[in-house]
Amino acid sequence: MFMSEVKIPVIGTLLALSIAVSSAMAGDKIQKNVDGALIYPIKNNSYQGYAVNPQKTNGFNHGRAPTTAEIKAWDIDVMPDGTGLPEGKGSVEQGDELYTAQCAMCHGDFGMGGKGYPTLSGGEGTLKNQLVNPEAGDEPPSRTIGSYWPYASTLYWYVQSAMPFPNPKSLTNDETYALVAYMLSINEIQIDGEDLDDDYVLDRAKFLKIKMPNEDGFYPEVNGDVGSKEMSKYLNNADNFGQGTRCMKDCGDTPIVKIAYELNDFHPTPSTAKGLPKEKEGEEISEAQKIYEATCSACHANAAIGAPVVGDKEAWDTLLKEKGIEEIYKNGIDGINAMPPKGGNMDLSDEKTKIVIDYMIQAK
């Protein structure tokens, strides 16, 4: 992913973008962006209503060559051709045990979904049918492993890099192979014509033979020298992803482009509410509870995350005996493991953080 001569950028991207747009607009010739949006000329150091930095960048060289350790830390992608895929092996049965212990509490038994986390199995072929044969039905595509993901390499990389949620990057190569084998099995994926039963052992050589059902369902082809041109051609044709005619102003009765096949298979349905829970008549909500609802409830109201849940007196009492209130305060203020300092709300003072912690401990 990174080469030794790559520089770590410090200069802002807006400047580089402005220069790139300026170059593209030479001669005030209006061009189209890759998604079909118009690119207007830059005049008097302004791009439409936005000022552009006219400073020349000749001679700028902010940055340094990354160290070998830095490259190794970032270069963790696993590519479809096998680049970055380590040696290792794991069976479906081992993956089943790991999934039950570390994944099922969020993703449900057999990957069927639960607690608002993504469903991992089912919906085989729905996305491919929508792209290749829209007449196949109006049911929106299911974004599961067997239906949506074009390459298994993404599955391996994501599991090892980001899962399990409370403790990412804790899985060994063998454990990741085992989990991938299990998730492929519950999606009824075959490898080289062979079903993945409990005794099936997935290793690097077998992994490279995986062909996902939707490998040809992602359009357009974005690899190679013509990839960008194909992408531009695809995105400029609204029939590929929507219905209607592009229109930015004075549209009149022109039907506006809309999504042809909406992804709305979310369980539970996402909330669009932005405010805090409404106070019931005659009920007063303390400041601590309001801060908890806005900052802390995402983790401390969901037992699947692994954080002590508000109302679980036994969990909080155990924590108090093990650490004491002062260390709990310190962890809340400074952060610990996956929890950021002050729950990510850096506007909170230390004292208010302590008040919220008291609320969570004492809540019934």
Please give the average per-residue pLDDT across 261-286, as a whole number: 61
In this structure, the number of other CB atoms found within 10 A of the CB of residue 310 comes to 20
Burial of 114 (0-12, 13-18, 19+ CB in 10 A): middle
Listed in order, strand segments (DSSP E) in 10-117 are 31-32, 38-39, 42-43, 46-47, 50-51, 89-91
Domain co-membership, 238 together with 319: no
- Does the pLDDT of residue 234 top 90, yes or no? no
Between strands 38-39 and 31-32, the pairing is antiparallel
Which DSSP state fits 81?
A: T
Domain co-membership, 67 together with 4: yes
- Asked, for residue 279, whether it belongs to a domain, the answer is no
- Asked, for residue 217, whether it belongs to a domain, the answer is no
- Does the pLDDT of residue 83 top 80, yes or no? yes
pLDDT band at 271 (very low <50, low <70, confident <90, very high): low
Cα distances (angstroms) measured from residue 332 to each of 233, 292, 314: 51, 12, 19
Higher pLDDT, 273 or 59: 59
Please give the average per-residue pLDDT across 60-76, as a whole number: 81
The answer to whether the CB of 173 falls within 8 A of the CB of 78 is no
Question: What's the CATH number where 156 sits?
Answer: 1.10.760.10
Token pair of 314 as six digits: 């036994």
Is the N-terminal amide bond of 164 cis, ω within 30° of 0?
yes
Global pTM value: 0.57
Phi-psi region of 125 (alpha: psi -120 to 50; beta: other; left: phi over 0): left
- Does the pLDDT of residue 16 top 60, yes or no? no
Higher pLDDT, 140 or 205: 205
**pLDDT of res. 242:** 59
Domain co-membership, 203 together with 310: no
Closest CA to 298 of 307, 286, 311, 287: 307
pLDDT band at 118 (very low <50, low <70, confident <90, very high): confident
Domain co-membership, 251 together with 169: no
Domain co-membership, 147 together with 197: yes
Chain segment 158-216, per-residue pLDDT in tens? 999 999 877 788 899 999 999 999 999 999 999 999 999 999 999 999 999 999 988 87
The answer to whether the CB of 293 falls within 8 A of the CB of 276 is yes
Please give the average per-residue pLDDT across 311-324, as a whole number: 86
- Asked, for residue 81, whether it belongs to a domain, the answer is no
- Asked, for residue 277, whether it belongs to a domain, the answer is no
Domain co-membership, 160 together with 246: no
Close Cβ partners of 136 (under 8 Å, ≥ 6 residues apart): 129, 130
CA–CA gap between residue 252 and residue 254 (Å, rounded): 6
> What is the residue-averaged pLDDT of the chain?
77
Domain co-membership, 60 together with 98: no
Instruction: Single out the residue in 18, 43, 73 at which a domain terminates.
Output: 73
Domain co-membership, 110 together with 193: yes
How many domains, the chain?
4
The count of residues in the chain is 364
- Asked, for residue 101, whether it belongs to a domain, the answer is yes
**pLDDT of res. 184:** 96
Range of the domain at 12: 1-73
